[in-house]
Amino acid sequence: MKDGLLKIATCQFAVGSSIKSNSRQIQSYIRRSARCGADIVHFPECALCGYVGTDFASFEGFDWGLLETEAGKITAVAAQVGVWVVLGSVHKSGKPERLRNSLLLIDSGGKIADRYDKRFCIRGELRRFIPGDRFVEFTINGVKCSLLICFEVRFCEIYRYLYKKGVNCIFQSFYNARQQGPSVHTHIMRQSVQCRAACNHFWISMCNASGYYSPYPSCFIQPDGKIVKQLRFNRAGMMINTVDLSQRFYDPSADYRDMAIRGRFDNKPENQ
């Protein structure tokens, strides 16, 4: 695909406690996305491992060997079909163990090109995870991309930073699933991501798990903040969307955004 075009498969499924089951579904979606011509396939937060505290109680007795084995199968499939993958998982390193809530960036050759560790963890996660300390940026087909995870949607400063770095497209993975029913997240999460997109002129692939009950589905949002497409509530599915940097969108902030970022908070003409 030519520069400035990036075909994205955004996939949601009922992430659960079984690493093997999660892995089989992930591999199936990677193959399916390749048949649809996708350049990159995007999965939810903790898609491979399941979400601790919801899908399983704790990391005591967690099968790290199985996680590594199944991650290897996924990288092999990515190499076989030639697509990039953004995969939610967990990472363990060091002694004492340091656990991270992570997104693995797998390139089209099946190599783990980078790893993004969630920088803002919710309070419960801080009992288990060490927050990350760096952003991940990468370019495919001339489209500059970055990775974010769930709760980070609450911090507009993150998006401003990525805007200043020249990012075009954000892959943001969520796990907001297996709840009792609709919640405030039904009314604020998609809307918050739309705001981040429109205020910073980003394309955003917003990928959530779909285990019942999920208060919002996965969405794809264009730089004017419009949701181009979204998947069904509480149902597994995949959608294909294309970032096209040649497209032009409504952007009333364009003339003043950089000025505001520099700390000037009015647009009064200079001679007044």
At 270 the pLDDT is 75
At 1 the pLDDT is 59
Q: Any idea where the domains of the chain sit in the sequence? A: 5-258
pLDDT surpasses 90 at 269:
no
Token digits of residue 167: 């990012």
Banded pLDDT at 66 (limits 50, 70, 90)? very high
Token digits of residue 177: 């699933």
Average pLDDT for residues 197-221, to the nearest whole number? 98
At 205 the pLDDT is 98
| pLDDT tens for each residue of 213-224 | 999 999 999 999
User: Is domain 5-258 in CATH 3.40.190.10, yes or no?
Assistant: no
Q: Which secondary-structure segment (H or E) carries 149?
A: strand 143-149
Q: How far is CA 93 from CA 46, 98, 105, in A?
A: 17, 5, 17
Nearest to 102 by CA among 145, 177, 51: 51
- Could you tell me whether strands 237-244 and 227-230 are parallel, antiparallel, or unpaired per DSSP bridges? unpaired
At 187 the pLDDT is 96
| pLDDT tens for each residue of 89-100 | 999 987 667 999
Token digits of residue 227: 């949701």
Comparing 88-97, 131-140, 192-201, 233-242, the range with the smallest average pLDDT is 88-97
- Residue-averaged pLDDT of the chain: 96
Q: For residues 20 and 122, what is the distance between their CA atoms, to the nearest angstrom?
A: 27
| pLDDT tens for each residue of 102-147 | 999 999 999 999 999 999 999 999 999 999 999 999 999 999 999 9
At 262 the pLDDT is 94
Q: If DSSP codes are grouped into helix, strand and coil, which group holds residue 227?
A: strand
At 272 the pLDDT is 65
Q: How far is CA 256 from CA 159, 174, 201, 249, in A?
A: 17, 31, 13, 16
SS3 content of the chain, % helix, strand, coil (to 5): 25, 25, 45
